[in-house]
Amino acid sequence: MEKMEHTILEAQKGDRIDKVISGLNNEWSRTQVQQWIKKGQILVNGQEVKTNYKCNLGDQIEIQIPEPVELEVVPEEMDLDIYYEDKDVLVVNKPKGMVVHPAPGHMTGTLVNGLMAHCKDLSGINGVLRPGIVHRIDKDTSGLLMVAKNDLAHESLVNQLVEKSVTRKYKAIVHGVIPHDFGTIDAPLGRDPKDRQSMAVVDNGKHAVTHFQVLERFKNFTFVECQLETGRTHQIRVHMKYIGYPLVGDPKYGPKKTLDLNGQALHAGVLGFTHPRTGEYLEFEAPLPEYFEQLIIQLRNNH
C-alpha cells in the first residue's frame, strides 16, 4: 500500500477532509475518499477522523492509497514533443487524439506508455496506472502537461495546483460571437445527474473558475484564450457551453451541427509553475497545432 503525505495549506483551512483529499487527485472521488477515511486509511496528525472533519492550517495528513488494480503498462517508444526535462520534472506537448494514461480499453498508445519508455524514473505516487501524472488534458485537447519524476516534485506540483499558482492558458474556438472582451465564469462543476458520463454546472459541484479573453471575432465564431483558476474535468468545455458559447467540434458538449474536427478546438498553449527544487518560475508556450491554424485562416476568409 502506497503512502502519501500532505500538509494542509491556507487555501484548504476550514474545508472538510474528504473534499480536500479528493481535490488532490482528479481520479479520487469524494465517495472513494470517504471509504478510505472510514477504513482508517487516512490519518490527521496520526489520528483517525470522521469524514466531516474540518481541516486546520498545518494539519499533517497521511493517506494510505490502496494498491491499484494491476494492469501492466507497457513502455512504448514514441516521438514525444518534450519542451523541458530535468531530474525532477518534464513538460511535454501532447498531440490531439492521444489519451494521457492507460485505462481498460486504452492500454497502449497513451502518453504514459511513451513516457515510461522515455524515462525510467517517473513518480509512482499516483499508482502504477498514472505514473507522474499530476494533471491531465482530454484526449482531443492538445498542449502542454507537466509530469513529476519523483515524490518531491509530485507533492510540490499538486500543492501548486491546490494553491492555484500554476499558470494554465488554453486557446479555443467557440460557437457564437462573444460581445464582451473579457469575462469570468464562476460556476460549480459535478457529474451531470441526467448523464453520468458528462459533467455539468450543478449546485453541489466542486468550485470552478475560468477566466476568458476574446482574441478575435469571426462571422459566427469567436477565438478565445481561457485561463484556468481551478482544474476540474472538462472545465472549459462545460463552462463555455454554460454561458452559451460551446466549443467548436466538441462531440460531448457542442451543438449537433458543428465543424467536423474529430474533437474540440482546444489547445493548452501556456503552462507555468515553480520548479519543485530550485524555486524558479518556469513558463512554456506551445504554438497552435496546424489544424487549429488552418481553421482560423478558414474562418477569417469566411468573415
C-alpha separations of 122 from 90, 142, 237 in Å? 10, 22, 30
How many angstroms separate the CA atoms of 293 and 227, rounded? 20
- Cβ 101 vs Cβ 111: under 8 Å: yes
Strands 142-148, 2-7: pairing is unpaired
Closest CA to 221 of 295, 118, 140: 295
How many angstroms separate the CA atoms of 222 and 155, rounded? 37
How many angstroms separate the CA atoms of 164 and 166, rounded? 6
C-alpha cell at 294: 488552418
- Cβ 51 vs Cβ 72: under 8 Å: no
Active site residue 138: yes
How many angstroms separate the CA atoms of 82 and 65, rounded? 30
Distance between alpha carbon 52 and the CA centroid of its chain, in Å? 26
Question: 143 burial class (0-12, 13-18, 19+ CB within 10 angstroms)?
Answer: buried
How many angstroms separate the CA atoms of 64 and 8, rounded? 17
Residues 18, 59, 138, 140: which is the catalytic one? 138
How many angstroms separate the CA atoms of 289 and 282, rounded? 22
Closest CA to 199 of 242, 259, 141, 135: 242
How many angstroms separate the CA atoms of 87 and 227, rounded? 28
Residues noted as catalytic: 138
